[in-house]
Structure 1
């Protein structure tokens, strides 16, 4: 689990998340948030709009470690689940005209207890201390822009996939295979014109269920896709969600 956690924090990807171990919204992505004939923003314009260093209190913002994977190499065994799987790996939904991504990592929390002795190792204090040190949110933010009603259609594809893939699905990235046992819609941040938020749960064998959280929000003809993982919370079975401070900061730049 320790190696899995370290790898997962470095990049949000199906290969690393699944390969390491033996709700509602304003319109729920139904595409009725109002048609837009606006022209898509350019990549340069999106880079000016995405969160940057110093703009999210309590978080370090920078490039996505390892980069965003090629969408052609991320696929589900059921094509209708591709939008969910791709959102979880930071890939922009649908067919955007331009997109850009950043990673926001919560400032590290100091462990409340030092566990270094053999006795500590034996009674589990070391694992508890490790979990505390890794109890931080790592969120990938992807902004994507679309021509015409492309943003609405892309959001609807994610919303439909969340509903259609509730029973789980298998997928792969670069040949690495993994399985999510369930997908469930959850309460969204309520920002933007319409949005959909969901949890996808990976059954990691002896480590139990490992949830990943994502949300896709439409701001006119631009989508903001957020995917958050917290390894420490996973290890301690503590609930967590998509990072609210990250959504707040990004929403402010899109108004």
Structure 2
């Protein structure tokens, strides 16, 4: 599996740092057997990691936003295996909000986007794409849906010596996207200050896209935050997923 490392400012990543420091056409039938050969499409020819690199949005497609590869500072966890959740059914939500892959993908990547006009300290949006084989994407999507239903009264996730507690998880209405889409918001309190995180998960064929927005600086400075997903980013990424 080829994956990049999560970026600095995700909610759980930041809290951990703080807790530690304070197409091809179909083949023609084989005449020798009379049976058609399997069809071969571009998705079958291109390596999964390359496919994802082609599918993720570029700066030209999200006017006004920077698009960067994440760094490895203050990560909540390097892999899902490092995360412990008090309610196992809620684990997909902890992964989704920390740029960790859902299920067992062939490849995944993460990009971090920020609105240029707002500069340092504004909310960040994280896009994580993952490619699967067989029904892996559908199965992972089903796990997230079940988690939203099961974890309404919250959960606690721990990794690397840090712990984050979410008081609630609530499904949110979304415009149709891909083959299926799910949105949810989670609430958390840090240093007595409330914060709301928004997440969207979209499945298009064998690819999952997970989008999360969070204002890490507001969390660090104990200022209330409610960072919503930018429509420009969501629309552009959904269009590329198809």
What is the TM-score normalised by the length of structure 1? 0.73
Aligned-pair distance for 1:185?
0.8
Aligned-pair distance for 1:11?
2.6
Structure 1 stretches of 4+ with a deviation exceeding 4 A read 38-41, 231-239
**Secondary structure, counterpart of 2:60 in structure 1:** coil
Q: Which has the higher contact order (CA 8 A, sep 6+)?
A: 1
For the 8 Å contact 2:15–2:162, the answer to whether it is kept is no
Q: Does 1:243 align with 2:234?
A: no
Distance in 2 separating the partners of 1:85 and 1:47: 24
Q: Does 1:253 align with 2:240?
A: yes
Compute the RMSD of aligned alpha carbons: 2.6
> 1:91: which partner in 2?
100
> 1:77: which partner in 2?
86
> 2:56: which partner in 1?
50
Aligned-pair distance for 1:236?
6.0
Deviations 1:81-125 (A, max 9, x none): 100000000112111111111111111437xxxxxxxxxxxxxxx
Q: Does 1:192 align with 2:178?
A: yes
Aligned-pair distance for 1:137?
2.9
> 1:16: which partner in 2?
14
Distance in 2 separating the partners of 1:148 and 1:61: 30
Distance in 1 separating the partners of 2:223 and 2:72: 26
Distance in 2 separating the partners of 1:87 and 1:156: 13
Q: Does 1:63 align with 2:69?
A: yes
Distance in 1 separating the partners of 2:223 and 2:191: 15
Distance in 2 separating the partners of 1:227 and 1:146: 20
> 2:27: which partner in 1?
none
1:101 aligned to 104, 110, 128, which one? 110
Residues 106-185 of structure 1: pairs in structure 2 closer than 5 A: 106-109=115-118, 134=121, 136-185=122-171
**Secondary structure, counterpart of 1:10 in structure 2:** coil
Aligned-pair distance for 1:241?
1.7
Distance in 1 separating the partners of 2:189 and 2:223: 15
Distance in 1 separating the partners of 2:11 and 2:217: 17
Q: Which runs of 5+ in 1 are unaligned?
A: 1-8, 23-37, 111-132
1:212 aligned to 194, 197, 220, which one? 197
For the 8 Å contact 1:137–1:228, the answer to whether it is kept is yes
Distance in 2 separating the partners of 1:106 and 1:86: 24
Q: Which runs of 5+ in 2 are unaligned?
A: 1-6, 23-42
For the 8 Å contact 1:19–1:178, the answer to whether it is kept is no
**Secondary structure, counterpart of 1:81 in structure 2:** helix
Distance in 1 separating the partners of 2:70 and 2:169: 25
What is the TM-score normalised by the length of structure 2? 0.76
Distance in 1 separating the partners of 2:82 and 2:134: 27
